[in-house]
């Protein structure tokens, strides 16, 4: 490749990179320096974050609510798809293909269309306005990807590994726990990462399922902050909120990046 062309590519990439980073950096910057950021008018300050911390039930409780939902979703997704993926990959049982197909069908049914019946159903189960109920629903949405990922992970392990453990006196469950889990760990991290990002950021499901302001998740509380005060939106606090909401996701993504890319290249997203 000619040098001119290489330089051109680099310049284009760099310009685009600035464009992609700018909104994020601007929000971070203006949340710390905006008109209301410092107590004395101009300069750096955390006044926006202080107002956000005292908004509604308090930033702390919204963060805890969101974390509870994410924790339920991630735990349920990981446990059910690890067990289910192992069963589908290695244990022949009646209804195996049916379960696999019905689970994958969740992908074909866009979940916003079943939120209304889910709202009624959660009411019957006593899980309306419940963070656990919300976490369970969000876990179900992650099952197709999770099951596919874990089934492939178990199928990729050599059968000899399990046989050796069985010969050495392990039970099937013991072999899974002591030997196979280590082999599928990358798959588990990938599933957990996807599940966390989806649950932490979910907006429409909590909007419908949560009615009690004290149980709101962070995206929902921020939406209230923006839409609740018509005409006089506190942009400083809103920007602080966007930072609080985005920072954990950006951090988790940067640390676990290669697992994310793995999710794509493992074929789970390929045709």
Partner 1 sequence: MVSPSPPALSPPTTPAPAPRRRHSLRRQRRRLGLLYAAPMAVLVAVLFVIPLGLMVWMSVNHWPLLGASAPNGVANYQALRDPLFLRAVWFTLRYTAVTTVVLGLVAFGLALLVQRNRPGVGIFRTIFFLPSAVGLAATSLLFYGLFNTEDSPLNQVVRAFGLGQVDWLGSTDSALGSTTGMITWRFAGFYMLILMTGLHSIDPVLHEAARVDGASRWQILWRVTLPLLRPTLALAAVLSLTGSLLAFDQFFILTGGRHDTATVVIDIYREAFLSQDLGRAAAVSVATLAVLIVLNVAQLRLLRREGR
User: According to the binding rule CB under 8 A, does residue 80 interact with partner 1?
Assistant: yes
Closest listed residue to residue 184, CA positions, set 153, 216, 208: 153
Any idea what DSSP says for residue 176?
I
Whether 111 and 142 have beta carbons less than 8 Å apart is answered as: no
132 binds partner 1 (CB under 8 A): no
Interface residue with partner 1 among 11, 39, 102, 214 (CB under 8 A) is: 102
Minimal distance, residue 185 CB to partner 1, in Å: 18
Q: In angstroms, what is the minimal distance from the CB of 125 to partner 1?
A: 8
CB of 54 to partner 1, least distance (A): 19
Instruction: Write the interaction track for partner 1 spanning residues 13-42; mark x where CB under 8 A is met and - where it is not.
Output: x--xx--xxxxx-xx--x------------
Distance, CA of 106 to CA of 143 (rounded, Å): 8
Supply the minimum distance, in Å, between the C-beta of residue 55 and partner 1. 13
Q: Pattern of binders to partner 1 over 47-66, x per CB under 8 A?
A: --------------------
Q: Which of 117/126 has CB closer to partner 1?
A: 117
125 by Cβ neighbours in 10 Å (0-12 / 13-18 / 19+) ranks as: exposed
Instruction: Name the CA radius of gyration of the chain, rounded.
Output: 23
Residues in the chain: 271
């Amino acid at each position: 490749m000619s040098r001119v062309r290489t330089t051109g590519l680099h310049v284009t990439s760099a310009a685009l990179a600035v464009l992609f980073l700018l909104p994020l950096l601007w929000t971070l910057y203006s949340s710390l320096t905006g008109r209301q950021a410092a107590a004395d008018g101009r300069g750096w300050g955390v006044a926006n974050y202080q107002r956000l911390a005292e908004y509604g039930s308090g930033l702390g409780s919204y963060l805890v609510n969101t974390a509870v939902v994410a924790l339920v979703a991630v735990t349920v997704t990981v446990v059910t798809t690890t067990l289910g993926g192992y069963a589908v990959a290695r244990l022949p049982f009646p209804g195996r293909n049916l379960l696999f197909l019905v689970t994958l069908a969740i992908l074909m049914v866009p979940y916003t269309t079943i939120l209304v019946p889910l709202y009624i159903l959660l009411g019957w189960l006593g899980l309306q306005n419940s963070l656990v109920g919300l976490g369970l629903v969000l876990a179900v949405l992650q099952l197709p990807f999770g099951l596919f990922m874990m089934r492939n992970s178990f199928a990729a392990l050599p059968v000899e590994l399990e046989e050796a453990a069985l010969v050495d006196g392990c039970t099937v469950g013991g072999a899974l726990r002591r030997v196979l889990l280590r082999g599928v760990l990358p798959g588990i991290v990938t599933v957990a990462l996807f599940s966390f990002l989806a649950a932490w950021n979910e907006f429409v499901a909590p909007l419908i399922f949560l009615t009690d302001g004290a149980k709101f998740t962070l995206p929902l509380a921020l939406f209230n902050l923006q839409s609740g005060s018509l005409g006089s939106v506190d942009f400083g606090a809103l920007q602080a909120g966007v930072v609080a909401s985005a920072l954990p996701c950006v951090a988790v993504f940067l640390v676990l990046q290669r697992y994310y890319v793995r999710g794509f290249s493992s074929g789970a997203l390929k045709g």
